[in-house]
Structure 1
Amino acid sequence: MKMNKLNTTKMNNFKILSVALFASASVVNAQDINEAKKQIDAEQYQKAKTSLKSIIKSNPSEGKAFFLLGNIYLNQSVIDSASITYNDGLKAKNDAHFNQIGLGQIDLEKKDVASAKAKFDIAKNQARKKDFEEYVYIAKAYMNNSNPDYKAALAALELAKERNAAEPQVLLALGDAHYGDKNQNEAFSAYRNAFQADNSLIRAKVQLGVLLKGAKAYKEAVAAYNEVIALSPNYGPVYRELAETYYYWALNVPGRYDEYIKQALSYYEKYMTMTDYSLASRMRHADFLILAKDYKALEVEANKMKELDKVNPRILRYLGYAAYENGHIDEAISSLKQFIDNPNNKVISLDYLYLGQAKIKKGTSADGSTIDPVLFAEGTELIKKAVELEKSIAVDLGDLGKELYGKKLYKEAAAIFEIAVTDPESKNYLLDNFYLGTSIYFANGTLPEGQKADPIALQKADTALGNLITGSPSTLDAYIYRARVNSLADKPAMMIQYYEEFIKVATAAGAEELAKPSTKAKLTEAYNTIAANSDKEKAKEYYAKTLEIDPANKFATQSLQSLK
């Protein structure tokens, strides 16, 4: 009897010890996962991956560790690894349902909203009554994909608020959702409230600076970031935001571009030292170097990435961009072609743009006087693909077009500007229309004797100059070139119309404009051409106008004498 009592006591003590050990292990794992979350928030992704893999290895029952690791892979666009990790997480004993949210976000990337919602519903159904975290992560899934849906994110966060309206993470996510939904006031309130609720939540305070950056209040944004640094000097993301703010500030203050870009690059280097030098971070750095147009540094970074991972295809993109900008055209073509030809790679508009420009550069003779027609045709087709993928990239074509224009390769310049003007929202739209119209005019006005002008091309030139007149009716050259184009097209009535409009606009511009030698020369051209294509009385009138501003004009003098 005593033996049985002793055994029972031992068994109870063993159970108590087991429960205590299990509880202790759970606390340790929770602490480890919280530490990994802090590393993710600080964008120390390599550290976080190491931490999460260690948790998974020591305790594969922690489903949230799989979920967070999958999120890092997804953030770094390694979708296959993310999918495998989420699916492994579904087998975990604890919090496996979070991995449904991760798989749902992959569905959103594939634009399969119904499948994503079904997975989110599974996660919600398995959440406990007061749990809010699932709803926060569902909201983040709606926001952190290629096709964000901020309204759906806000709807998910309303459910999170029902469970814990004062939770700082809920407030922070609300700030992100309102910011994405372009509701600055609500975003500001949410970020402010999140930081007031938990002043260790540094990202909430950083986002107050981000709002100022978005409003182009760059000086105020920098001041806000400096407040963050005073509180938490080792928080890496604030230096990335500083870098991006100085980059945009440089674009908006051209006179201080070099100074601000230097600041931007310096802060990005600081960000890298605060986070990690993993391949993913180096790629993000490379993306910033492309924005800042520091192609020497990009080439160095691309070669460092190549040492880390020789097979990662995105490295070919960076090598290609850097090689083109640094004058290594064969290497640019080889790298970009290899990247684009791989069907597993997600090709972006810049890839086509750079390869197209490289082909054109390759086909241009050393003296710049001729271009191989085959390489030029291949290059322009690639550039068309670039603009089809992303219309706004047309703004970058002007430099190439003007380079060809300057070399008097007018037909080729016209082909580039014809692509450039397909985006009416481009800030260079009117200028590109001017170059398109005049490129076609010069290409057709300098043909060998006996070769006829291209009527279809001349109609495009007329349209382009018409677009310029619509957008900038005071641009005198638009009228003079439109008249000349119609002269080449053998349309005398249209020619006279635009010469007359030129005279009218020039006269309205006032005495200062009329006194310019260039304007006088164009007025002489207009008067003489109208006179030569008019009846006798009108001709006399216009030749007389010519002689008023150019008394020695031989054509007008001789023509008037012949009319007597």
Structure 2
Amino acid sequence: MNKFKIFSVALVAATSVAKAQDINQAKKAIDAEQFEKAKTLLKSIIKAKPSDGEANFVLGNIYLNQSVVDSAKIYYLNGLEASDKKHLNYIGLGQLDLDSKNTAGAQANFGLATKDIKRKDVNEFIYIGRAYMNSDNPDYKNAVAVLQRALAIEPQNAQALLAIGDAYFGANNQNDAYKAYRDAFTADNTLLRAKMQSGVLLKNAKSYDEAIKSFNEVIALDANYGPVYRELAETYYKWARNKPSTSQVNLQKAITNYEKYLSLTDYSMDSKMRHADFLILVKDYKSLETVANKMIAQDKVNPRIFRYLGYAAYENGNVDVAIKSIEDYIKVPSNKVIGRDYLYLGLSKIKKGTAADGSIDQAAFAAGYADIKKAVELEPLVVEELADFGKALFGKKQYTQAASIFELGSNNKDSKNYLDDSVYYGISVYYANVNKTTGAPDTAALANADATFDKILVASPTYDEAYLYKARINRLLEKDDLMTKNYEEYVNKITAKGAEELAKPAVKTKFIEAYNNIAASYANTDKAKAIEFFNKTLVLDPANAYATQSLKSLK
């Protein structure tokens, strides 16, 4: 019996050590973003020991991170039935509460998770800090506060330092984030994510060269650490986007590094989804279509595949497939719809209604535009992706449709295209009305365009063309006093620039337009003024027929 007891104790100890190693292996797999491997390890632990609350909690976190909420909740609830570390699962339920904006419920669950912990326990606070950060409604202030409690107990805890670095990073406190990451790596020089995050800070600061150097230092420590290649890929992508002269080379480097990242993960459906997301970023739609079709062959039920097929089909010219795929995705209530889904759906409907000569069926445009507006409502900055489409419409002289597209951008001051879109909107409205062959001008649209040019002048006071277009708009609105005022402001602004500007042929043409219209506005009220301005026209263009004939009439 004594020998058996000793054996039993030894066996329990060995099992405990093995279990701890498995948990640690699962956590390492999670850090390496090998989520399928981590799931397999955790499920084997739970199968061998259903009473393991921590394994249920960590597995639930993976599913929650992958937005598989139902599975996450199942494992959290299973974990609460366990006898070992079951309290951790209250943290998972607390994050679900945060996702639902139930702050009181989250705090109650976090309270249950920490109610009976020992005085020197810190892991619970780290997990709670992560829950605040990882929520759909992140709360970095509370995350920092909770993680400071962990560090008050154990100041050199590397995981707590890494977590508080992430919290500071989320709160845009770059200095404290950098210090925390540095301290985390000092406390544990095997914690590669902490060193990698220092490079992420540089990437976000657009110090792309320095970021790449930092990531290469991580690779020098462990060339098989997958996440660093993802960060490299995103750095090269951002560099390409922010400096177009580097675009071709850096986009290829981005793709190469992302493929390296994939080779070091598990080629799971989730990693393929992330790959598809990246292909959308780099606009490699041919590859996206290939990847999407391979995913369908592997998993015919994952709804996000319809999203990828829809995007790729639109970009590759197959609008019928695009419309069906995106509608199939959107119509499922449990799918998380984003603005880009409606953007592609709207653009697909418009493209479907576009004839070979470039003309657009008005009903198709209206249907597509309604979806585009939904996209903007969901994600206001999606307007940044509409500029090229609007300019294409403008180039084809489809001014009314162009104006409706540019108006969306002109209403968002946070958009990088705000000024450009506003100018195009105002000009599009003007041309849509000046070129009308039937019906009265759209006075509401013209008044809005006039107000938009006022906003442009506030944001960019040197944009003198705004006065010219305001004058033209007020001419259409038959507001002669405002028209005259705007033309005079335009003439004065350009004249102040000096002789070189005045000598430009385009400026001469616009001055003739201004003088003739000002003169015409005075013709019935102040003949002397009218004659003065018609004579200014003749100084610039002695053969100007309109000025010559008008002067004869006035005399």
Shorter-chain TM-score category?
Answer: over 0.9
Aligned to 2:455: 467
Structure 1 distance, partners of 2:278, 2:501, is 45
Pairing of 1:67-466 with structure 2 (within 5 A): 67-369=57-359, 371-449=360-438, 451-466=439-454
* AA of the residue aligned to 2:190: S
Following superposition, the deviation at residue 475 of structure 1 comes to: 2.3
1:4 is matched with which residue?
A: none
Question: 1:126 deviation in Å?
Answer: 3.0
Q: Does 1:553 find its partner at 2:541?
A: no
Q: State the shift of 1:405 in Å.
A: 1.5
In 2, the alpha carbon distance for the partners of 1:491 and 1:443 equals 18
Range 536-545 or range 103-112, more displaced? 536-545
SS of residue paired to 1:364: coil
1:520 is aligned with what amino acid? Answer: K
Secondary structure of residue in 1 paired with 2:5: helix
Distance 1:453 1:181 in 2: 50
Following the alignment from structure 1 to structure 2, what is the Cα–Cα distance between the partners of residues 99 and 263?
41
In structure 2, C-alpha distance between the alignment counterparts of 1:188 and 1:419, rounded to whole Å? 38
What does residue 5 of structure 1 align with?
none
* SS class of match (1:350): helix
2:16 counterpart of 1:17: no
Amino acid at match of 1:382: D
In structure 2, what is the equivalent of residue 479 of structure 1?
467
> What residue is the counterpart of 2:532 in the other structure?
541
One-letter amino acid of the structure 2 residue matched with residue 558 of structure 1? Q
Counterpart for residue 7 of structure 1: none
Amino acid at match of 2:390: G
1:55 aligns with 2:45: yes
Residue matched to 1:525:
513
CA distance in 1, matches of 2:297, 2:178: 43
Q: Offset of 1:324 from its aligned partner?
A: 0.8
CA distance in 2, matches of 1:355, 1:60: 46
For 1:430 and 1:476, how far apart are their aligned partners in 2? 14
Structure 2 distance, partners of 1:391, 1:144, is 23
In 2, distance between residues paired with 1:470 and 1:129?
A: 59
Q: Aligned partner of 2:109: which letter?
A: K
Q: CA deviation at 1:425?
A: 1.6
Q: Measure the CA separation in 1 of the matches of 2:251 and 2:372.
A: 28
Letter of the aligned partner of 1:479 in structure 2? Y
CA contact (8 A) 1:52 1:66 kept: yes
Alignment-derived partner of residue 22 in structure 2: 32
- Tell me if structure 2 keeps the 8 A contact 1:440–1:461: yes
Alignment map for 1:502-521 (pairs within 5 Å)? 502-521=490-509
Query: Normalising by structure 2, what TM-score?
Result: 0.97
Cα distance in 1 between the residues matched to 2:18 and 2:183: 30
Instruction: Give distance in 1, aligned partners of 2:32 and 2:266.
Output: 10
**Residue deviations 1:218-263 (CA, integer Å, cap 9, x gap):** 1101001111111111000000111111111112212112221111
How far apart, in 2, do the equivalents of 1:422 and 1:563 lie?
A: 45
| Secondary structure, counterpart of 1:230 in structure 2 | helix
One-letter code aligned to 1:185: N
Residue pair 1:394, 1:422 contacting (<8 A) in 2 also: no
* Deviation of 1:129 (Å): 2.2
Shift of 1:500: 0.8
Aligned CA RMSD, in angstroms, stands at 1.4
Do 1:349 and 1:389's aligned partners in 2 also have CA atoms closer than 8 Å? yes
* 2-structure distance, mates of 1:284, 1:366: 36
TM-score between both structures, scaled by the size of structure 1: 0.95
Aligned residue for 1:499? 487
2: CA distance, partners of 1:146 / 1:519: 54
1:114 to partner: Cα distance: 1.0
Partner of 2:32: 42
- Residue aligned with 1:293, SS: coil
In the alignment, is the contact (CA less than 8 A) between 1:387 and 1:394 conserved in 2? yes
Rounded Cα–Cα distance in structure 2 between residues aligned with 1:305 and 1:145: 28
Aligned-pair CA distance for 1:314 = 0.8
Question: Which AA in structure 2 matches 1:557?
Answer: T
Q: Give the Å deviation of 1:168.
A: 1.1
Distance between the aligned counterparts of 1:16 and 1:341, measured in 2? Answer: 62
Q: What stretches of structure 1 of length at least 5 have no aligned partner?
A: 1-9
Whole-Å separation in 2 of the counterparts to 1:491 and 1:367: 37
Instruction: Quote the offset at 1:464 in angstroms.
Output: 2.1
Instruction: State whether structure 2 residue 476 is matched by structure 1 residue 488.
Output: yes
Contact 1:394–1:421, Cα closer than 8 Å, also in 2: no
Looking at structure 1, the residues matched to 294 and 511 of structure 2 have their Cα atoms a distance apart, in angstroms, of 61
- Once residues 460 and 155 of structure 2 are traced to their aligned partners in structure 1, the CA distance between those partners, rounded to angstroms, is 53
For 1:184 and 1:438, how far apart are their aligned partners in 2? Answer: 42
Amino acid at match of 1:199: N
* Residues 417-438 of structure 1, C-alpha deviations (whole Å, 9 max, x = no match): 2222221221211221222122
How far does residue 16 in structure 1 lie from its aligned partner after superposition? Answer: 2.0
1:320 CA displacement: 0.6
What SS class does the counterpart of residue 427 from structure 1 fall into? coil
What amino acid is the match of 1:533?
Answer: S
Size of the aligned set, in residue pairs, is 552
8 A Cα contact 1:359 1:376, kept in partner: yes
Q: What is the distance in 2 between the residues matched to 1:219 and 1:38?
A: 29
1:20 and 1:518 mapped to 2: Cα distance? 93
Query: The residue matched to 2:30 in structure 1 has which SS?
Result: helix
In structure 2, the partner of 1:3 is none
SS in 2 for 1:97: helix
Structure 1 residue 139, shift from structure 2 partner? 0.4
- SS of the equivalent of 2:115 reads helix
Structure 2: distance between partners of 1:201 and 1:461: 56
1:529 and 1:162 map into 2 onto residues whose CA distance is 76
- Structure 2 Cα separation of the partners of residues 296 and 471 of structure 1: 40
Aligned mates of 2:271, 2:498 — CA distance in 1: 59
Give, in angstroms, the shift of residue 97 of structure 1.
1.1
The one-letter amino acid of 2:31's match is: D
Distance 1:273 1:491 in 2: 67
Which runs of 5 or more structure 2 residues have no equivalent in the other structure?
Answer: none
Q: Distance in 2 between matches of 1:508 and 1:265?
A: 52
Is the CA contact (8 Å cut-off) linking 1:430 and 1:467 kept in structure 2? no
- Displacement of 1:111 in angstroms is 1.0
